[in-house]
Amino acid sequence: MGKNSMTISMEIEGLDEAIHKLKLYDTKNSKAIAKAISKSGRNIRDDAKSHVPVRTGTLRDSLAARFNGNRLQSVVKADYKKAPHAHLIEYGVEPSIVKPKKQTALKFTDGTTIKYARGPIRLPARKARPFINPAFQSEKPKVENEIKKILKDMP
C-alpha cells in the first residue's frame, strides 16, 4: 500500500482451521463463507459511504470493496488517486506548517477562492471523523456470527 494508506484488518478465530476442513469437505460451505465475507465487505463500504463527511462527494465516491476469493478476503478502501485525503479525514491531522519548496508561492483554495502565499502557511489541527472503522466495527460481529453458523452446520 502507498504512503497514504490506512489498513483495518479482522481476524476470525479458527478461520484457518475451518478453511483446511473445508478443503476436505465439499465446496458448498466454502462458497457460503466466501459469500458471507464478500457481502460483509460490501456492507462495510455502504455503511462507510453513508457516514463519510461530504463536501464534494469525491471521498464518498472513491470508496470501493473488492473481494479476493483465493484469500477469502474483502478489502474496503478509498481510491487514493481520487481521494488522497481519506486517511486525514479518518484519523485527523495535527497542526502543521507548509512552506513553498521549489515554487515561489503556494497555491491553495479557500472554499471557492484560489489564493497564493509566498511564505509558510499554518494549518490548524483537524479532528478525526472516522467513517471506515465504525462501519467495520458494526459489521464485524455480524460476519463472525454468520461464519460461526456455517461452521457449526458443517458435517
* pLDDT bucket at 98, cuts 50 / 70 / 90: confident
- Looking at every residue in the chain, the average pLDDT score rounds to 86
Global confidence as pTM: 0.75
The mean pLDDT of 33-54, rounded to a whole number, is: 95
What are the cell numbers at 62? 472513491
| pLDDT value, residue 106 | 84
The mean pLDDT of 7-20, rounded to a whole number, is: 70
Cα angle value 63/66/67 (rounded, 5°): 150
Best mean pLDDT range from 14-18, 23-27, 33-37, 147-151:
33-37
The mean pLDDT of 114-129, rounded to a whole number, is: 90
Give the whole-number percent of the chain exceeding pLDDT 90: 53
| pLDDT value, residue 10 | 67
Q: What does the pLDDT look like over 64-76, one tens digit per residue?
A: 999 998 888 999 9
How many CA atoms lie within 13 Å of 59's alpha carbon, on the beta-carbon side? 20
